[in-house]
Amino acid sequence: MKMKQHRQIPANYKLKSVTVSQTPSGKYYASVLFEYENQVQEKEPQTFLGLDFSMHELYKGSNGSEPSYPRYYRQAEKRLKREQRRLSHMKKGSKNRDKQRIKVAKLHEEVANQRKDFLHKQSRQITNAYDCVCIEDLDMKAMAQALNFGKSVLDNGWGKFVSFLKYKLEEEGKRLVRVDKFFASSQTCSCCGYKNSDTKNLSVREWDCPECGTHHDRDVNAAINIRNEGMRLVSA
């Protein structure tokens, strides 16, 4: 098979294995595994960023940033339903059904590739800008089941985003710090430390601190608290 090699493999890399896989859409991929020595020097964290999971924006940062996630699955949902309905009405074993199955698989693959590309770009931007990223240690599967937000959580891709972010940071000697999921990031005022029990209700998106009078965006305030807790864990 012809191959386009876009970068040279160093002479000290040792080839360990080649795994060939086929996607449901019929494409073949070869995953090549090399072994090499790589001594990463850990950096002393100077710049910190806290990220709070957000259903619609992917996350909100302690610096006020939000990536405006395009929600690729929701955009393609009508097309997917239409093509899957056509597939379900076709005779099993027929050539037309096999063609339609590949068409549906390609649509799913397109959505997955768009999401993966977006998450790679976001994680790279953050890695380039910060030495330490602090996040909540969330169980996304449990969250999807408990809140009945299955499709939205899966479309969001937070788990994949965290894994991308983790390996990119580690490659540069930087750190990803996980803050306990029971840490009261949303309830605590990031300015004075006052705890507002009203924010247990997820419908409360903004609130004013009765102690210091600071106006808070729920998610940005949580991200600041996550960053501060992450800084405390690193210094400890």
What phi and psi values does residue 146 have, to the nearest 5 degrees? -70, -40
The pLDDT of residue 105 is 93
The pLDDT of residue 187 is 85
The pLDDT of residue 129 is 95
* Calpha distance 227→180 (Å, rounded): 12
Domain boundaries, the chain: 14-235
The model's confidence at residue 146, banded by pLDDT at 50, 70 and 90, is low
Label residue 43 exposed, middle or buried (CB < 10 Å: 0-12, 13-18, 19+).
Answer: middle
Q: Using a CB cutoff of 8 Å and minimum separation of 24, what contacts does 102-110 make?
A: 102/24, 102/25, 102/26, 104/80, 105/23, 105/24, 105/25, 105/26, 106/25, 107/76, 107/79, 107/80, 107/83, 108/24, 108/80, 109/23, 109/24, 109/25, 109/27, 110/76
pLDDT over 90 at 13, yes or no = yes
Q: Is 198 a catalytic residue?
A: no
- Helix count and strand count (H, E) for the chain: 6, 8
* Calpha distance 212→192 (Å, rounded): 7
Among 131, 136, 155, 229, the active-site one is 136
The pLDDT of residue 135 is 95
User: Nearest to residue 62, comparing CAs of 153, 147, 148, 126?
Assistant: 126
Q: Is 136 a catalytic residue?
A: yes
User: Which ranges of 130-214 would DSSP assign to H, the alpha helix?
Assistant: 140-147, 150-156, 158-171
pLDDT over 90 at 190, yes or no = no
Q: H-helix or E-strand containing 125? A: helix 95-129
Q: Is 83 a catalytic residue?
A: no
pLDDT digits (tens, 9 = 90+) for 35-83: 988 878 888 999 999 999 887 788 999 998 888 888 888 888 899 999 9
pTM above 0.75, yes or no: yes
Among 83, 131, 155, 219, the active-site one is 219
User: Six-digit token pair at 74?
Assistant: 């929701």
The pLDDT of residue 126 is 96
Mean pLDDT in residue range 192-217: 84
Among 52, 83, 131, 229, the active-site one is 52
pLDDT digits (tens, 9 = 90+) for 217-233: 888 999 999 999 999 99
CA 210, 216, 222, 226 dihedral sign is negative
